[in-house]
Amino acid sequence: MIDLVKEKRERAIVVGVAAKNTTRAQEEEYLQELVLLADTAGADVLHTVLQVKDRFDSAYYIGKGKVEQIAQMCKDDDISLVIFDDDLSPAQVRNLEQTIERKIIDRSGLILDIFASRAKTNEAKTQVELAQLNYMLPRLTRMWTHLSKQYGGIGTKGPGETQIETDRRMIRERIATLKEKLERIATQRSTQRKGRKEFHNISLVGYTNVGKSTLLNTLSDSNVFVENRLFATLDPTTRLVSLDASTQAMLTDTVGFIRKLPHHLVASFKSTLEEVVEADILLHVVDLSHPQMQEQIDVVKSTIHDLGAAHKPVIYVFNKVDAVEDRTIIKNLQATYEPSVFISAHRGINILGFKEMLVTMIHSSFTEMTFTVSNADYRTISQLHDLTEIVSQTYDENDIIIIARVSEKVKERVEKIVRSIK
Ligand SMILES: Nc1nc2c(ncn2[C@@H]2O[C@H](COP(=O)(O)OP(=O)(O)OP(=O)(O)O)[C@@H](O)[C@H]2O)c(=O)[nH]1
Ligand SMILES: [Mg+2]
């Protein structure tokens, strides 16, 4: 894979259509996000083209007149790449390439490209390659291959030239191999997760760039990569976090969500995203200062729903409170989102209050139990210490009476231990 940072930056145009369900203002915001994505991928956007149209053109996505206008802009300004905000059909890509004679890429292709250049671990690389091959399969046209060779750069990384040139059967074989590999990795991951079972597992979820990794760093005093760019994090990171003197939890930071996340990517990242599904509590981190905050919340909620995790307890963590002046926003959000907390992960504002809220939520799932154990039964005593949170221990002649808080997670195991005492 090529490192984008060292590569020459491409010159690009972004194109969007405000069709029936989208207003012009909304599409303008979407295009701004697309410009950020392009920047992350290593392209400088010189022009933004927005067309208001009842529906998408089936042959060109935009009107033919606009296509010709873009072709001219490409010649005038030495543009190498044209990025479209919606997914294009293979036929649309072909038609656009023929008229514009530049590389054409859609939003999904661009996101896949960013993932390809950012993937570091074996698992992430495998997941991205699988998603890319699935995305490419219907788009394998001669023109596409020809153009990718001619221009290189964005949209041509990942599985590599040789695979693009091979026939579809070989790609399908490669897809099957990658799937098998991912299944093996998923098994390993689930074994690792079992090892963390007695801890409370908490997942950070949220739109990209809202401050999830910053929050993980603040809570765990660690140094996870943080950047003011989309998709800084791809691989899940887990840290043991102390919430108060007696409560610890495993906190997992994972990939951020975005609107129109390519479904191949979601499918490929299933094992990574399973971290979310397996968590006991979700922290839905929101960037309070973002103009599209509401839509970002909705995108994340629907992604959580798609992952089958909608039933999990959620705390809405409104971050970047330092960047917002209007306090009435906070009052309104408090009424709508419950439970919620307002913090600045970066500046460390209200982190203590947030930890208290988390501890309360964890403790609400605890039951207090009393155990009478023989003084000499070291094994049971030590097991209870490992699995529960001890409230008190009193001694009589032969026994210890232990009062402890037992979480739902370990209740079954503790009950089994108690049965073996009797
Ligand atoms: N003003 C302000 N900026 C913050 C705060 N927390 C994080 N940021 C900034 O927001 C940007 C994104 O932070 P990250 O922690 O990388 O966000 P993320 O959600 O992990 O992003 P991805 O991994 O890309 O999905 C960085 O520039 C942070 O410095 C905060 O409390 N206030
Ligand atoms: Mg991150």
* CATH number of residue 44's parent domain: 3.40.50.11060
**Partners of residue 358 on adjacent β-strands:** none
In a domain, 339, yes or no: yes
Question: Ligand 1 within 6 A of 296 CB?
Answer: no
- Regarding whether 265 and 298 lie in a shared domain, the answer is yes
CATH number of the structural domain spanning residue 318: 3.40.50.300
Closest CA to 251 of 215, 212, 201: 201
Centre of ligand 1 to C-alpha 254, Å, is 13
> Looking at the structure, do residues 75 and 116 belong to the same domain, yes or no?
yes
Residues 378-391 have a mean pLDDT of 87
* Long-range CB contact pairs, 239-245, < 8 A, 24+: 240/199, 243/355, 243/358, 243/359, 243/362, 244/355, 244/356, 244/359
Q: Which of 320, 340, 363 is the last residue of a domain?
A: 363
The residues, any chain, with a CB within 8 Å of residue 255's CB and separated by 6 or more, are: 208, 231, 233, 234, 235, 236, 269, 272, 273
Q: Is the residue at 332 inside a domain?
A: yes
Question: What is the band of 4 on the pLDDT scale with cuts at 50, 70, 90?
Answer: very low
- Is the CB of residue 50 below 6 angstroms from any atom belonging to ligand 1? no
Amino acid at 415: E
The band of 235, judged by pLDDT with boundaries at 50, 70 and 90, is: confident
Cα 406 to middle of ligand 1, angstroms: 35
SS3 256: coil
Nearest CA to ligand 1 atom 10: 211
Secondary structure of 5-17 as H, E, C letters: HHCCCEEEEEEEE
Model confidence pLDDT, tens digit, residues 80-139: 999 999 989 888 998 999 999 999 999 988 988 888 887 877 888 888 888 888 888 877
Q: Which two tokens stand for residue 395?
A: 């001694």
CA 323 to ligand 1: nearest atom:
1
Same domain, 317 and 376: no
% of the chain with per-residue pLDDT over 70: 88
CA of 85 to the centre of ligand 2 (A): 23
Q: Which of 197, 179, 69, 67 is nearest to 127 (CA)?
A: 179
**Helix, strand, or coil (residue 248):** strand
Whether 214 lines ligand 1, by a CB cut-off of 6 Å, is: yes
218 lines ligand 1 (CB under 6 A): no
Same domain membership, residue 351 and residue 206: yes
Q: Which domain holds residue 340?
A: 196-363
Residue 308 lies in a domain: yes
Predicted confidence at residue 254, as pLDDT, reads 82
Quickly state the pLDDT bin for 142 (edges 50, 70, 90): very low
The verdict on residue 223 lying in a domain is: yes
Looking at residue 46, its pLDDT comes to: 97
Q: By the 8 A CB rule, do 59 and 95 touch?
A: yes
Does 97 share its domain with 234?
no
Rounded Cα–Cα distance for residues 30 and 112 (Å) = 18
Position 153 scores a pLDDT of: 60
Whose CA is closest to atom 17 on ligand 1?
Answer: 211
Domain boundary among 339, 363, 387: 363
Instruction: Identify the three-state secondary structure at position 93.
Output: helix
* Pick from 87, 16, 86: nearest CA to 45: 16
Residues 44-69: pLDDT tens digits?
A: 999 999 999 888 899 999 999 999 99
**Ligand 1: which of 37, 226, 276, 341 to mutate, judged by most atoms within 8 Å of the beta carbon?**
226
Q: Taking 80 as the threshold, does the pLDDT of residue 265 lie above it?
A: no
Q: Going by DSSP bridges, is the β-strand pair 399-407/366-374 parallel, antiparallel, or unpaired?
A: antiparallel
If asked whether residues 76 and 93 sit together in one domain, one would say yes
Write the pLDDT tens digit of every residue in 144-169: 443 344 445 666 555 555 545 556 77
213 in contact with ligand 1, CB cutoff 6 A: yes
Residues 214 and 277 placed together within one structural domain of the fold: yes
Q: What is the CA angle 40-44-68, rounded to 5?
A: 125
Can you read off the two tokens belonging to residue 17?
A: 């259509």
Q: Which of 227, 221, 341, 202 is nearest to 282 (CA)?
A: 202
What is the value of pTM for the model shown?
A: 0.78
Number of domains in the chain: 3
**Index of the ligand 1 atom closest to the CA of residue 343:** 31
